[in-house]
A and B are shown apart, each in its own frame.
Chain A
Amino acid sequence: MEYEFTTAADIKKLCSKHKIKISELAKRYESERAGVSHVVVRNRMKKTRDVIWEAIENGIGNKKKSDLKMSGGDAAKMYAQLTNMRDMMSNRVCVRAMAYALAIGEQNALMGRIAAFPTAGGAGVVPGVLFSSSQHFHAGKRRLLRAMFCASAVGIVIASGATISAAKGGCQAEVGAAAAMAAAGLIEMQNGTVEQCFDAAAITLKSYLGLVCDPLGGLVEVPCIKRNSIAAMAAIGAGDMVMAGIKSFVPFDEVVRAMKNIAETMSPKLRETALGGLAATPTGNKIKKKLGLPIIK
């Protein structure tokens, strides 16, 4: 297999050997793996992109609350702020990214159609960052697609080296992984180098190491949805640092190894079981009571 990779080192080697970007490598990897043409691979990603865009549009236009009234309507509030930027500290890209990330999370909670990117719990981060920044750059649909391919390649490195399941590794494996992917995709959209992509991914993932998965009542709503939108800001921040010339001191592959380490020592109570953390607070117990689940003292 010519385009096989599982680590960032593999990706760097292959990219410099073939003089290609990460996105092109990801496309060739998939077409080789599945035995289909590049066109088929690109069309599948286009479909993912369209589903995401539909979810964003539905989300920012939605004012309905979820069944337990834990989420809903926040994306619309955030998006409305774009017309009143004077009250905002961050710029339009960030505000829009946060609105988009909230939109996807809320749609997921409301049983709307989404693309798990890389999982349902962290599905808002990559769309938030990449769709908002592509609008900022007036980037064509192709450039957005390239950034999505780049982000997915980084996701494969994390999934192969550690995990992307919160049941195994806590939230660092879902929202953390998604933020790292988004940061790398953002750098590729800005025509950064392969090294820069992994620097941004490493800086982001380092900030999310150890984050636990403790959703109220086990539902993917609180704190997941807002966590997605904050993670989008983190990814944009890391991207800016890298564009300013800052590098990650620890290489990405080592950060992934650290994440695996942490995942293995993390208590099962903090891995999607709703037995610890925020899930075990009085507010968390209230939700559990509504769902008829046992209360934690």
Chain B
Amino acid sequence: MYYKLTKKINLLLMEERYSIFDIAGPIMVGPSSSHTAGACKIGQYARALFNKTPKHVVFYLHGSFGEVYKGHATDKALLAGVMKFQTGDPRMKDSFKIAKEKGIDFDFKVKSLGPNYHPNTVRIDMESASEKMSVIGSSIGGGVIEIVKINDFKVSLRGIAGKYFSLVVKHDDKPAVLKSLTAILKSLEVVVSKVDSVKFRNKVLTVLSSQGKAPKLKEVIEMEKIEGVDFVRALTKLDK
């Protein structure tokens, strides 16, 4: 039921007025909002969904990503995202070196994923000792991204680079869970300005985005203790 509801809310928010900081910002690492900032955001989502730092990552670059990734540093940005860097983190240009220091084994391959994908699309295959996951995401312009596939499962999760602080939540398919989550966020004075939900197997993945205050790490861990919640992941590195 509440998928429809959240869809409606999002439609309303699509006509949301411009923020002063849509104009004076976002703060980002150049050179491109779709090929750099958006790519970093896709990496962050993949890392959040995988729920741990992968030992081995392979990026399959599709379409325009595959053609111009070097000039726009899409590769560095993707890897930076997988390491939880913010889109405005100046360390992004050294992400290859930092990944090597962290012992992450990475590789980039140019590959067409098929005709049905947006030109700026990447498939990220992550592996740790015990788990494997594959995430496909597209950067659809102006820093807006969409995760379209997790493993073999079609989804549609949207995010905006540099604009929102987002929480990715995996939880049971019960409206009450989301309700108690938003209640907690409200008590923390976090204003949720965007909700995106998608069914994932027998669970639900929800992205809650806020523009103002961000919850602290301690508070995120508290939220994971709610009954019916599998995990809560903060999408940008938390302050302090």
Contacts and interface: CB of A to CB of B under 8 A. Distances in A.
B23 A156 contact: yes
Nearest to A29: B20
B21 A293 contact: no
A120 interface: yes
Nearest to B211: A34
Contact of A219 (B19, B28, B31): B31
Given A68-B71, A152-B20, A40 B30 contact: no
B229 interface: no
A36 interface: yes
B70 A291 contact: yes
B227 interface: no
B142 interface: yes
Given A117-B23, A156-B18, A292-B67, A220 B30 contact: yes
A48 B27 contact: yes
Nearest to A177: B23
A115 B25 contact: yes
A117 to B, nearest CB: 6
A35 B23 CA distance: 18
A219 B30 contact: no
A255 to B, nearest CB: 17
A136 B70 CA distance: 40
A114 B36 CA distance: 13
B73 A159 contact: no
Interface string B9-33: 0000000011111111111111111
Contacts of B28: 113-116, 120
Dominant secondary structure of chain A at its interface with chain B: helix
A118 B23 contact: yes
A118 B90 CA distance: 20
A206 to B, nearest CB: 20
Q: Which 5 A-B pairs have the closest CB atoms?
A: A108-B30, A155-B23, A111-B93, A30-B20, A152-B23
Interface of A: 4, 6, 26-27, 29-30, 33-36, 40-41, 44-45, 47-48, 51, 67-68, 107-120, 148-149, 151-153, 155-156, 159-160, 164-165, 167, 181, 217-221, 291-293
Interface of B: 17-33, 36, 67-68, 70-73, 76, 88-90, 92-93, 141-142, 191, 211-212
Given A111-B93, A116-B25, 9 more contacts: A111-B36, A111-B92, A113-B29, A113-B89, A120-B31, A181-B23, A217-B71, A218-B68, A220-B31
